[in-house]
Structure 1
């Protein structure tokens, strides 16, 4: 009897030890917002259709044609913003992250972006006054988010937290619609601080990563605004800027090509990975 009890005890300890050495599954969540380049303005290509299932997207609206419901997680095949958007930096951000993280970690993105919008659309307190002046074509996108994109982002972020997800960072690409706006960094800082407060996040644990606009080498019409983006870390200590140098663009001088989005997305991930490795 004693020998049998010893066997069971040793067996139980062995099993317990095996379990303790197996990392618990983790879901790292990244909030994404901005205008058309974060939304995804260029169609995805065939090579973009294969995605590791560890890279997930929470649908930010109901998309019947895609078989998606708002608030549910899906493998992050594009589009990962609205129902008909194209490729965005968030696509290859997530892909690059899962390639470089342990297998027990999943990466989830929540992408709420509106083409053509000024940064004021994400102003928690004053967005309604901006919506009142928004063009009709933009209202359709805004209405997809219940008329309040910032509110939708926070709503779904809280749901992700309830699902056990941990918000690890915020990705932004915006600026084309705020030319020569010397208060832009202050406005971004206010949005960032509101997100921290609404989601109980700590600034030192939640980096903001912003990408430059299409560079002058590819005819970027808004390339001068990159000077404002470069000063973002002065307003937000945990802000970091990703270069768009060498990322090809489209003939319109505003948007990146599919290859440009892939390159830019990988740079967002490389920045995030470097921040994680520096801790």
Structure 2
């Protein structure tokens, strides 16, 4: 099985509203929870009670479309509101990510690290030493995990920032984006994914669910092509629709029915149909 480490702040953890997009269920997409691999269901992260849709589900779905009958596991370690300083190699977030990744690597091969962070550093000229701090993080992660060539994919911040709501304070988001792009261009196996054309929730800072689906496809495009994604993809909405609307297997239908029954949304009779 392959695996992907998810790190950064809230837009990696996901704050897209779950009811706004078609849910993704795929028996070949797993997530690490309580030390066990289980079928993925969103929210993948539980860093906050408001966790929702992030980019990882559509990334994994696109990966499965390109790798038929293979499994991929997601390792959720993002933390909402975290600044890059909180990802220093002595800090709890870094050590937790290393611990979870090493545990996952006992039963999987780590094939990528996805990073989305920077909103918390988009002010007060924090962009000036962002590159150096990111470089220390990337090198330390690769060294600690023994994967010196693993792709590290960085997501650009949305161009809706700096305008409204909680995003109003992110006045230097474009300068952070410049540093993220510069890092990807200057370092091997590092790729940049644009946040251009994405939309936010009403709070003005969190990427909405539909845009998160598109962002995940962009992350996969960068992974698959080993190149930066500097612009939104042509036909992005259709790519997402085709990728995410798949016919469900018996195992997936059983999982969904049990989930709905536990939530009080289906009957015992409906559950028993799948358990015979």
Same fold (TM over 0.5): yes
Could you say what secondary structure the match of 1:81 adopts? coil
Q: Distance in 2 between matches of 1:79 and 1:251?
A: 19
Out of 194, 204, 212, the position equivalent to 1:261 is 212
1:249 matched to which residue of 2? 200
Q: Distance in 1 between matches of 2:17 and 2:161?
A: 22
Matched, 1:106 2:71: yes
Which stretch of the first structure deviates more once superposed, 257-266 or 46-55? Answer: 46-55
Checking the alignment, whether the CA contact within 8 Å between 2:17 and 2:53 is kept in structure 1 is: yes
Q: Distance in 2 between matches of 1:75 and 1:46?
A: 21
2:102 matched to which residue of 1? 158
Out of 67, 86, 91, the position equivalent to 2:52 is 86
Matched, 1:198 2:141: no
Aligned residues: 215
Matched, 1:121 2:86: yes
Q: Distance in 2 between matches of 1:233 and 1:162?
A: 29
1:175 matched to which residue of 2? 118
Structure 1 residue 216, shift from structure 2 partner: 3.9
Q: Distance in 2 between matches of 1:106 and 1:243?
A: 27
Checking the alignment, whether the CA contact within 8 Å between 2:20 and 2:209 is kept in structure 1 is: no
5+ long unaligned stretches in structure 2: 228-276
Which stretch of the first structure deviates more once superposed, 167-176 or 81-90? Answer: 81-90
Matched, 1:210 2:176: no
TM-score (norm 1): 0.72
Checking the alignment, whether the CA contact within 8 Å between 1:189 and 1:235 is kept in structure 2 is: no
Structure 1 residue 237, shift from structure 2 partner: 2.5
1:31 matched to which residue of 2? 5
Structure 1 residue 217, shift from structure 2 partner: 8.6
TM-score (norm 2): 0.72
Q: Distance in 1 between matches of 2:112 and 2:145?
A: 12
CA gap 1:235/1:185 in 2 versus in 1, 3 angstroms: farther
Matched, 1:96 2:62: yes
Q: Distance in 2 between matches of 1:149 and 1:123?
A: 8
